[in-house]
Amino acid sequence: MPEDRSWPRPLASAVLIAAGVLWGLGAPFVRYARLGGMEAFSLVLWHSFVGLVVIGAILALRGRLAIPRDAASLRLYLAVGVLGIFAPHIAGYWALGWVPAGVHALLTSLVPIFALAVALALRIERFRPVRALGLALGAGAIALIVLPEASLPQGVAIGFVLVSALAPLCYALESAYVAHISTASAGAMQALFGGSIIAVALCLVTTWAAGQPLLPDSVDLRLGAVALSGAGGALAYALYVTLLRRAGSLFATQVAYIVTLSAMLWAVLLLGERPAPTIWAAMVLIFAGLALVRPKHRRNTV
């Protein structure tokens, strides 16, 4: 009989909250750096490099730094690097120069809803009325964000919001590849490490091509915010993977609610954002939509 490695509920809940709060800091910290004048390509480069170092240190401590290099794993690293790190970060961090951090966090939380739409388009998932209602609620949330004039600060064009929405679309495409196409033997942390290597390489090329700084020209609060965002995101992912193993996938995926709510609260506390009532209403619709689109998971204690 296999050893029961599951965590007691109080410990699992504490780790869930810690992961959500760490992840929730990402958008407000990046928004702070963008408002301070940091360029998007440079910011993604430094953020990705910090994440690479942290994930590498975690794997080294676990004795798993030598990641698989078979063809399937290399394709997985490419998918994670492009669709899970480089492309969504470029879109999101560029948009965060204009879009409030709370709004970006709300849009990013649409990943499961976008993932269902992608799966339906590829005929991976079957149409079910209840989950279709979740898609409709997600669409309604986007409409609440972009249509009422009072939802966004004055001068924020809808186009910036749509660019921000490219981030969850990229994550959804990555999810479809990982869940339904990839046959790689690499674990989740190893996939993130390999993907981070590819993302940093892409960032070096594109940052140089865009004429943006490859190295910070000074050490200040903006750079500190980027470093904390990168480290916090990597640690949060490590906690999430641990939760999947020790508390099961159904429990661990609830982190999405905490990430969204904490990001909005951090944006209020740290940046002084004041989301319009329609933004809070959009959050309620998204949470309801997430509850409907999530499939029933079996307990995972692998």
35 within some domain? yes
Residue 298, in any domain of the structure: no
Distance, C-alpha 54 to centroid of its chain? 17
| pTM, two decimal places | 0.87
| DSSP percent split of the chain into helix, strand, coil, nearest 5 | 75, 0, 25
Q: In the prediction, which pLDDT does 295 show?
A: 60
- In this prediction, residue 90 carries a pLDDT of 95
Residue 48 lies in a domain: yes
> What pLDDT is attached to residue 253?
76
The total domain count for the chain is 1
Structure token digits, residue 182: 């990839």
Q: Give the integer Cα–Cα distance in Å for 77 and 162.
A: 27
**What pLDDT score was predicted for residue 109?**
86
pLDDT tens track for 89-138:
999 999 999 999 989 998 888 888 888 888 888 877 777 888 888 889 98
Longest dimension (CA), the chain: 62
Share of the chain above pLDDT 90, in %: 40
Q: What is the pLDDT of residue 176?
A: 85
**What is the helix (H) or strand (E) element at residue 293, kind and residue range?**
helix 277-293
Per-residue pLDDT averaged across 41-64, rounded?
92
pLDDT score recorded for residue 296: 56
Range of the domain at 110: 20-293
pLDDT in tens, 231-284: 998 998 888 888 877 777 667 778 888 988 999 999 999 999 998 898 999 999
Residue 40: per-residue pLDDT: 93
Does residue 114 lie within any of the structural domains?
yes
Q: Which of 276, 277, 280, 238 is nearest to 62 (CA)?
A: 238
Q: Is residue 36 part of a domain?
A: yes
Least confident window among 65-74, 83-92, 144-153:
144-153
Is the CB of residue 107 less than 8 Å from the CB of residue 172?
Answer: no
pLDDT at 3 over 60: no
Instruction: Assign residue 272 a region (left: φ > 0; alpha: ψ between -120 and 50; beta: otherwise).
Output: left
Whether 5 is covered by a domain: the verdict is: no
In DSSP notation, 141-209 reads HHHHHHSSTTSS-TT--HHHHHHHHHHHHHHHHHHHHHHHT------HHHHHHHHHHHHHHHHHHHHHH
In a domain, 3, yes or no: no
Per-residue model confidence (pLDDT) at position 29 = 94
Point out the least confidently predicted range of 28-37, 121-130, 162-171, 284-293: 121-130
User: What's the pLDDT at 177?
Assistant: 87
* Residue 261 counted as domain residue: yes
* pLDDT greater than 60 at residue 182: yes
